[in-house]
Structures are given as C-alpha cells and as structure tokens.
Structure 1
Amino acid sequence: MTSTAPWSEPVSTALIVFADGTIVEGTGVGLIGTATGEVCFNTAMTGYEEILTDPSYAGQIITFTFPHVGNVGTNEDDIETVNMAQASGVRGCILRADITEPSNWRATRHFDQWLKARGIVGIAGVDTRALTALIRDRGMPNAVIAHDPKGNFDREALKREAAGLRSMAGLDLVPDVTAGQTFTWDETAWQDGSGYGRRDTAQFHVVAVDYGIKRNILRLLASQGCRITVLPASATGEEVLAHNPDGVFLSNGPGDPAETGKYAVPAIREVVEAGVPTFGICLGHQMLGLALGGRTTKMGQGHHGANHPVKDFTTGKVEITSMNHGFALDRDSLPAEVEETHVSLFDGSNCGIRLKDKPVFSVQYHPEASPGPRDSHYLFARFVDLMRARKEAGAGEAPEEAETAAG
C-alpha cells in the first residue's frame, strides 16, 4: 500500500519516493526522467542558480525552503561550475511554487529550460517547509525523484530503487566534479558597470587543488593579485610543490571527506610539512583536519544556507556566512597544535582551524559568497598576508609573522 505524505498536493506528473517508501506527489519541472540522491534543504532566499551549479552538491537533491524559485530566470554569469559544459553535480530540486516567467533584466533563459539543459530533474507543488521539518527531525533521507508529463510511474520499482541507495557516508564523489587536467585562471570578481575583469599582474602564485572548486573562489583569489594554477584532486604533494607555489588552496567539494582523504590527505600532509601557506574551504577544511590528525563525522541535517552566524575567535566578530556541507570536523579529535578559530552559533560545530606553528588555516563555510553575504571576504586577504610574510622572510623559513598572520 502506498504511503502518501500529507504535505504533497494532488498533482502527479512528478514524484519523490523516499527510502522508507513514503511518496510525495507534485508537478514535474526540468528534465524528464529520474534521479537519485540525498535530500537536503537550503534556506537561502536568493542565489538558486549558484546553488544548483555548486559542485559541492553532487549526489544531492535540494529542497528550497524559499517558496519562489526561478522567478528571476537564469543567465550565464551566475554559474559556479568551472567547466561550463560539465553537468551539474546536483541531482534534483524540490520547489514550493510553480516556476513563473523570469522578471529580471539579467535573465537570458527561463528556469525550466535551464533545468532541462543542465540535466536536473525537478518537482514543484511540495510543502517544502514541512519536508524541511522532517529532515530536521530525522536527518537527510535518500530518495528517487521522477518526472513524467503523462504521470506514468512504476511506484513499486521506484520504492525498491530508493530503498537500495547508498548512504553519502563512504562515498567519494570528487572524481565526478574535479578538473580532468591542469589549467590556469585569471578572471577577477564582478564589478558594477564592468562585469568580470582580468588580472593583469600577479604578486603571488597559488596552486589550487580542485575537489569541486567554484568559479567565485578563483575570482576572489585572482582579485587579490594571485596567479592561479588549478590541479586535479588526484595531484600528489610532489606534483603540487613542483609548481613552486607561494600558497596552496584546498577547495570545496562533495562527498565523504574520509573517503576522498584516502588519496588527498597524504598530499596535503606533504604541503603542510613543506611550510607552504595553505588555505582550505569546506571539503578542503575537513581534509586538512584529517591531515592534521582529526576526524570527521556525518551530520544529521547538515548546514545549507546563506544566513549562518559564525564567530571568529581571532577577531571576536560574528559574521553571517554561506554554508553547504553534510560532514563536520570533530573538534575533540584535533591535536594540541591545532587551534579552533571559528564556531557555528547555530549548533556549536567547528567552522575553522589553524596550525599554531605553520601558516595553515581553513574554514568550513563559503567565504566566496556566491551566493551569500560578503562578511568573510577578509579570509582571502588573510591568505595573501601569509604568503607575503613568508616571501618577505625568505622561502623555507617560518617566521613568527608568518605563523601568526592567520590569527
């Protein structure tokens, strides 16, 4: 007997079939077909295009708590996937209201057309706040999302498929989103009236390891005067250091950090031991923690939104941040030489660390603010300060200034 959830509406051109057999009905949008993934929720009120092209969402179906998604259309400037031709990592999206015609001067394509082109299966007409409350109570469930304009679904087959899905824990999804080869980057941040620019000169050379890197991270590094070389996630420590970088950036990305860490952590340890200034974000933060002797844990509901308050212990300030992660670094597992620098004011989870004796630091959230508030842009300047201090002191040395510049 089919169990139909109370927050569904009586329209059946799309279904969400959860691993426990619960079925939610709605109106299909986007790609016709089926997709599988872990269902999470995002509380951001803007930036749906950036969210849906964030490689960190690979393997997930996003529930938007804000009811009106798609109303400003889409454009080519707000895509966060570095490879514009690459399929989105996100598997599907769940919406409250039907998609309206775009009403923004920047729009170049209707949201429904964009979803089809990106290969994203969607469903509208769902009580997304009720679904969000369910996720908060029970954790992020696996599900199949299906779209058929004629409403022809084999519900029993979909329930079997959903029940057989693997947990996100233990999955290495980085190979699906990382770059296939080394490339360089020089595009800078967007400026009102002129759009994106190009870096002319560079003071520092940064090697960015791509676990699913976002375009705006690269733009903000370039805007800080950095020449950027991007390496695939499989790069060894020797390959990273062979570029003689002034600094190394460890990017965001999807999946279980402990699984990706099986090949990434040894490389990170080599970089840290070499004394090269290192900055990690999101998955890069988690794997840096693993490299320093910590451990990570799977979160119940994760952090996904653009309104998360975080306290920076080094300044005493509270910043509003953009977050997207389902795993967290366990602060109690960190060795004495690692200092906690940031903490979530929502649930007290770790949001930042630094090494006390090396120019190495990382944060759990997304300071590139795409989408999200710009409170955390200072972290890119903090990274540059570390590289400058090391250069001024002479490569290979670890002066007090370089050790404390992250503080």
Structure 2
Amino acid sequence: MLQRKKASLLLEDGSLFHGFSFGAEIPTQGEIVFNTGMMSYPESMTDPSYAGQVIVFTYPLIGNYGVPAQKREHQIVQNMESEKIQCRAIIVAEYSDHYAHPTAAKSLEHWLKEEKISALTGIDTRALTKKLREHGTMLGKIIFDTPLHEPFLDPNEQNLVASVSTKQRIVYGDGPFHILVIDCGIKHGILRSLSRPDTTLIRVPWDYDFTDEIEMYDGIVISNGPGDPKMCDKTIQHLRQAIQTYIPLFGICLGIQLLALAAGANTYKLKYGHRSQNQPCIDLITKRCFITAQNHGFAIEKNTLPESWNTWFINANDGTIEGIQHATKPIFAVQFHPEACSGPKDTSWLFDYFLQEIKKYKQQQTVLTQPHG
C-alpha cells in the first residue's frame, strides 16, 4: 500500500473511525449512508440521489476495475448516471491500488482527486454499517490534521433537488410522443430507457410550471432525486394540478414520494434507507416478486393514500410501499429504479407499460379533437 495521509470519520454522536485518504484531501461532511451493492461504484457515485451524502460501500474491495471514460450519445451519458460525481465523499474498507478492466481509463483515486472528492480507506465498514443499522443514518465529517469546526449540517434541511436539477430546458429525440421529464436529479439511465425512435423527451427543471401547457405533452415522468421530498413544494403544487387530468404520469424514486404528497398522502424518513441492488418487491396484483435496485431514504406513510389510489408494490423485507397507482387514471409510480443502472432489470417492462398508456392517451385525444358530422 502506498504511503497515505491519515484521516478520520467523526460521527455526530462523537464516534471516531480512523483510516487513510485516497481522494482529495479536503475536509467535508454529509449524511453517512451505506450501500450494500457488490459492484458499479461509478454508477452509484454519479447518481444525483446521493447529493449531500457520504457513501459507505460495504463490499470490502473497491477500485479494482478502475473508472471508464465517460461516453455520450445525443447529450445522454451512456455509462454513468450523470456528468460528475454527486456524493460528498466515499468510505471503503480496502481501496485497490491496482485496477484492470478493458474499459478502464483511470483509477478511482485519480477520478476522485480530479473531481475534488474526499475518500477514506482502511475503515472498519462492518462496524460502521452495524452502527448505522442500529442507530439510523447519522451525520458525519471527514477530518484531516485539524478538526472541522463547522457544526453538523443536515443536508435534508436544504433543497438538494434545486442543486442537481437541470437549469434549462433540454430536448432529446424527435419522435411523435412528447414526454415531459421533470428533472429532480435524474439518472441518465432513465433518459436512456425513455429515449426511443418514437419519443421526444423534454427535460425541464424541478420547479418548471407546465400546468398551462399540459396539452402539449403525451405523458409526464417525475424523476429520482436527493433529499426530503417535502422541500419540493413547487413540484408538488404542479403535480397536484396534473393529477386532475388524465395524462399518463410515471414517478420514479423521489417521483413516487412527490406524487403521493400531491395526492394528499404523507412521507417519512426511513431509519437507514434502502440502498442496494437486491431489494425484493412484491407486485400485489400478480403476487410476483421482483428484485430491484434502490437508493432512497424516505418512503410513503402507510394508510395515508386517498381512496382513489392503490398500493401496487411492497418491499418484501420491511413491508414499505414500493409502488402506487391511481384507481381510474393512467397514473402510477415506483420507489425502486426500473432502469436499474446498476442492478437487475426485472422491472424494465414498466417503461413499456408507460409508453403503452401514452399511445392509448394519444389515440383518445386524437378522437376527441377530430371534427364530427
């Protein structure tokens, strides 16, 4: 192992974990969360849902396949989930100095330093994860020679969505079906899954007011994103008007929470969240179980959904709500990531289902607008 600078993780309860730096030597702080996935650290680190957070990777060896060069097609990143690292820092048990993979363009260490992101190795991640499971998600600071004297700041008290959402309108494709994509911190995997020869995606900021032009679109997607959904008051207000119509709506991750709040339900913070690629979810209609990729710290409170809404999926581990749908309208949402990236694609059919609903809606609108007599 190379000679590395000593660094530590200080938790808000005073616990101290000692290790070594292998990223940028910049003191930082955030919400400490753990990810139990065995692979795909570049995808996780570039997921905007991790904004404000420090990721603890529970898999013991990280960095052994390096980092690929970023690939783009039609303005969409093809092999990562955004254009840059989104988390505040990462913590691993053992960083691999040596890497090998046909697509690797640089080491994880080089990438971290390039993007000025802190990282610790040599940490007892088993003990740290057990602590987070027992006590719940905690705030923490990565410190070097001198303590970080700033008070602990909870990122969930900020509007993190505003910091990761697009600042301008972006159009992808030129197909006949026009889909409005509300960007609350969207993963590019969702854009890749929606980009098809027959779709045009119109990606807009989180607070974009589309209510006066809703007839211009054939469907609406509400993306994933970081933080407390209740911070997105403008999005909730716009969705409250949208669900009064019959336009197809599809919410993903944060999107399900925003849709639920717009419908009148409540959300709450989970003890330590769901962050892995192996979360089992049960379809309450078919009774089938799907393995899903997840990354969220909030959920819908049971028994708060209005009567016009049904629970569609539940988590087989803890029974939390993982999917909802309107009883009479083509409006639905899931807490997991059907695009995976990374993870199993067991539920990628949901994108096909959404596009089928869009086609039905488009046909109905065509019939209604045709002259009679």
Superposition TM-score, scaled by structure 2 size? 0.92
- Deviation digits for residues 10-47 of structure 1 (CA, Å, limit 9, x no counterpart): x8611111112221110101111111100000011111
Question: Where does residue 321 of structure 1 map in the other structure?
Answer: 292
- Which whole-Å CA distance do the structure 2 matches of 1:395 and 1:263 have between them? 31
Following superposition, the deviation at residue 56 of structure 1 comes to 0.4
Following superposition, the deviation at residue 355 of structure 1 comes to 0.6
57-66 or 116-125, which moves further after superposition? 116-125
- Which whole-Å CA distance do the structure 2 matches of 1:380 and 1:177 have between them? 24
Following superposition, the deviation at residue 365 of structure 1 comes to 0.8
Following superposition, the deviation at residue 145 of structure 1 comes to 1.3
Match for 1:92: what amino acid? A
- Which whole-Å CA distance do the structure 2 matches of 1:299 and 1:105 have between them? 39
* Percent of residue pairs identical: 34
Question: Where does residue 92 of structure 1 map in the other structure?
Answer: 89
Q: How does 1:298-309 map to 2 (within 5 A)?
A: 298-309=269-280
CA spacing shift, 1:25–1:209, aligned 2, 3 Å:
same
Question: Where does residue 334 of structure 1 map in the other structure?
Answer: 305
Question: Is the 8 Å Cα contact of residues 224 and 381 (structure 1) preserved in structure 2?
Answer: no
Question: Where does residue 166 of structure 1 map in the other structure?
Answer: 153
- Which whole-Å CA distance do the structure 2 matches of 1:276 and 1:313 have between them? 24
- Deviation digits for residues 231-260 of structure 1 (CA, Å, limit 9, x no counterpart): 011101326626x11100000000100111
Q: How does 1:235-384 map to 2 (within 5 A)?
A: 235-238=208-211, 241=214, 244-260=216-232, 262-384=233-355
- Which whole-Å CA distance do the structure 2 matches of 1:129 and 1:223 have between them? 43
Q: How many residues align?
A: 357
User: Secondary structure, in 3 states, of the residue corresponding to 1:123?
Assistant: strand
Match for 2:38: what amino acid? M
Match for 1:227: what amino acid? T
User: Secondary structure, in 3 states, of the residue corresponding to 2:22?
Assistant: strand
- Which whole-Å CA distance do the structure 2 matches of 1:185 and 1:118 have between them? 27
Question: Where does residue 175 of structure 1 map in the other structure?
Answer: 162
Question: Where does residue 128 of structure 1 map in the other structure?
Answer: 125
Question: Is the 8 Å Cα contact of residues 251 and 259 (structure 2) preserved in structure 1?
Answer: yes
- Which whole-Å CA distance do the structure 2 matches of 1:119 and 1:241 have between them? 41
Q: How does 1:54-65 map to 2 (within 5 A)?
A: 54-65=47-58
Following superposition, the deviation at residue 61 of structure 1 comes to 0.3
- Which whole-Å CA distance do the structure 2 matches of 1:30 and 1:177 have between them? 22
Question: Is the 8 Å Cα contact of residues 195 and 201 (structure 2) preserved in structure 1?
Answer: yes
Q: 1:229 aligns with which of 180, 199, 202?
A: 202
- Which whole-Å CA distance do the structure 1 matches of 2:283 and 2:213 have between them? 30
CA spacing shift, 1:240–1:49, aligned 2, 3 Å:
farther
User: Secondary structure, in 3 states, of the residue corresponding to 1:327?
Assistant: strand
- Which whole-Å CA distance do the structure 2 matches of 1:94 and 1:220 have between them? 30
Q: 2:8 aligns with which of 12, 15, 24?
A: 15
Q: How does 1:388-403 map to 2 (within 5 A)?
A: 388-394=359-365
CA RMSD in angstroms comes to: 1.7
Following superposition, the deviation at residue 391 of structure 1 comes to 1.7
CA spacing shift, 1:289–1:395, aligned 2, 3 Å:
farther
- Which whole-Å CA distance do the structure 2 matches of 1:310 and 1:292 have between them? 23
Question: Where does residue 154 of structure 1 map in the other structure?
Answer: 146
- Which whole-Å CA distance do the structure 1 matches of 2:249 and 2:116 have between them? 35
Question: Where does residue 37 of structure 2 map in the other structure?
Answer: 44
- Which whole-Å CA distance do the structure 1 matches of 2:132 and 2:23 have between them? 24
Question: Where does residue 217 of structure 1 map in the other structure?
Answer: 190
Question: Is the 8 Å Cα contact of residues 30 and 154 (structure 2) preserved in structure 1?
Answer: no
Match for 2:310: what amino acid? E
Question: Is the 8 Å Cα contact of residues 207 and 240 (structure 1) preserved in structure 2?
Answer: no
CA spacing shift, 1:128–1:240, aligned 2, 3 Å:
farther
User: Secondary structure, in 3 states, of the residue corresponding to 2:317?
Assistant: coil
User: Secondary structure, in 3 states, of the residue corresponding to 2:342?
Assistant: coil
Question: Is the 8 Å Cα contact of residues 55 and 89 (structure 2) preserved in structure 1?
Answer: yes
Question: Where does residue 198 of structure 1 map in the other structure?
Answer: none
Superposition TM-score, scaled by structure 1 size? 0.84
Match for 2:119: what amino acid? G
